[in-house]
Amino acid sequence: MSGAVRRFDVAVIGGGSAGLAASITAARQGARTVLLERQGSAGGMGTAALVHSFCGLYLLRQEPGAVLANPGFCGEIERRMIEATGMGPQRFGRVDVLPQHPVEFARIADGMLAAESGLETRFHTVVTGVEREADGWRIDLADGGRMFCKALVDASGDAVVAGWLGGGFAVAPAAVLQRPAYVFGVRCGAVLDDAGRLRVSGLLVEGLRAGALPSAAMGLSFRASGRPGEVFGSVDLTGGVDGAEFDPLDPACLTALETTGRRVAHEAVRHLAERDPEWMGAYVSHWPARAGIRESRRWIGEHVLTGDEVTAGATFEDQIALATWPMEMRETARGPKLRFPVDDRPCGIPLRCLKPAGLERLWVAGRCISTDHEAQASTRVMGTCFATGEAAGREAAKVADA
């Protein structure tokens, strides 16, 4: 459709968990909506990066049983995913998590997107810039095409709109940015119970000691996918390249992440296949389309949600969703450090966090909403991104309608 000019009420940049919810919600409000996604499926980190848990769907609670924090879109996704995998929420320590399968997520997203008559989905669509116009936004596409919309939702994860406008965003110092994860699929008959996982840890350390594995293998962990014979591996990486600091917006840095992830995964799986009878014949069966980025640019909105507010479980008159995931710090590649709120309280996310300061007809959703570095460690998770996406879609549709 190169060269054609298209007009929409709402355009959503990025079809990850936030953009999926935003576009479907906007279309349901009657807005003529377009979803623009660079990959070949929606789902973002949950499909392209193979992140296989929905975190942040449920309230923190002592009592057994998982309770949705944000019904609505989250409830729809939860129901469809449980139907697809046959697996309900699981409690790990103090948190409830819904295991999700990336293959099912992409298919579920296809179905939900196709069900909305007012919604056009455009995969393999790269946006190169936006320009503010009198009654909305002009969107420039890599194929030379242009679109116009009355209201724009930035669900890019990287706050790309702020990047193009040249301001209005913040990025944490490279030393504390949450480290990325490289997730891959493994075909393998091993039963990853407690004993199996401990044996894997022991064998990997042996390989590291012997110099047979790269040091980045220290960031490896494995988990059963829920399907027989399938395991997900995950490597937390430091993200630096040749001593330079981690920059999740730099293609050179991202290239190093992808190649390091593949190398560690390949060597570790081969190592285990040679040494653990249960891993005999195991192989890497599935690379992600991209490494999993946890944090990059954040918008500066009318309110900046802080780590202190998350800790206190703050409430706001204009809150549109609850953040319930503990602040999961991944500032090193040595595993998560969880910071829980007082009395397990959920924290309200005010609508003002979705409203970039001083910019009309623009909303933001997902991991790049307006928070500080600490609060983002809670709000970045997919369960919360669905909820902020839903709210952004609803608000954008109102503006477009006016």
Task: Select 7 or 334, whichever has its Cβ closest to another protein.
Answer: 334
**Total residues in contact with another protein, by rule CB under 8 A:** 26
The Cα–Cα gap between 384 and 337 comes to 19
**Cα dist. 284→52, 145, 184, 270, 294 in Å?**
16, 39, 7, 9, 23
Task: Select 88 or 202, whichever has its Cβ closest to another protein.
Answer: 202
Going residue by residue from 66 to 95, which x/- string records binding to another protein, judged by CB under 8 A?
---------------------------x--
The Cα–Cα gap between 271 and 61 comes to 40
Q: Is 203 in the site for another protein (CB under 8 A)?
A: yes
**Cα dist. 206→203, 215, 244, 280 in Å?**
5, 12, 29, 18
From candidates 208, 249, 284, 289, binder to another protein by CB under 8 A:
208
Choose the binding region for another protein from 20-28, 64-72, 218-226, 277-285 (rule: CB under 8 A). Answer: 218-226
Q: Is 124 in the site for another protein (CB under 8 A)?
A: no
From candidates 209, 228, 317, 342, binder to another protein by CB under 8 A:
209
Residue 59 makes CB contacts below 8 A (sequence gap 6+) with 67, 68, 69, 322, 324, 344, 346
User: Bridge partners of 293?
Assistant: none
Q: Return the closest-CA partner of residue 94 out of 52, 58, 53.
A: 58
β-pair type (362-364, 146-154): parallel
**At closest approach, how far in Å is the CB of 343 from another protein?**
17
Residue 195 makes CB contacts below 8 A (sequence gap 6+) with none
Q: Is 237 in the site for another protein (CB under 8 A)?
A: no
Task: Select 165 or 208, whichever has its Cβ closest to another protein.
Answer: 208
From candidates 106, 171, 176, 338, binder to another protein by CB under 8 A:
338
Q: Is 342 in the site for another protein (CB under 8 A)?
A: no
Q: Is 222 in the site for another protein (CB under 8 A)?
A: yes
From candidates 63, 135, 194, 343, binder to another protein by CB under 8 A:
194
From candidates 221, 258, 286, 306, binder to another protein by CB under 8 A:
221
Q: Is 307 in the site for another protein (CB under 8 A)?
A: no
Q: Is 236 in the site for another protein (CB under 8 A)?
A: yes
The Cα–Cα gap between 106 and 272 comes to 30
Residue given tokens 């008159």 in the structure block = 317
Cβ-contact 388, 366 below 8 angstroms: yes
Residue given tokens 């990325």 in the structure block = 180
Choose the binding region for another protein from 9-17, 141-149, 214-222, 374-382 (rule: CB under 8 A). Answer: 214-222
Specify the 3-state DSSP secondary structure of 350: strand
β-pair type (327-329, 283-286): unpaired
Q: Is 52 in the site for another protein (CB under 8 A)?
A: no
Q: Is 206 in the site for another protein (CB under 8 A)?
A: yes
**At closest approach, how far in Å is the CB of 255 from another protein?**
25
**At closest approach, how far in Å is the CB of 172 from another protein?**
20
Residue 198 makes CB contacts below 8 A (sequence gap 6+) with none
Task: Select 91 or 124, whichever has its Cβ closest to another protein.
Answer: 91
Cβ-contact 321, 25 below 8 angstroms: no
**At closest approach, how far in Å is the CB of 204 from another protein?**
6
Cβ-contact 384, 378 below 8 angstroms: yes
Q: Is 64 in the site for another protein (CB under 8 A)?
A: no
**At closest approach, how far in Å is the CB of 338 from another protein?**
8
Task: Select 92 or 317, whichever has its Cβ closest to another protein.
Answer: 92
Give contact residues for another protein (rule: CB under 8 A): 93, 194-195, 197-206, 208-209, 218-222, 236, 332, 334-335, 337-338
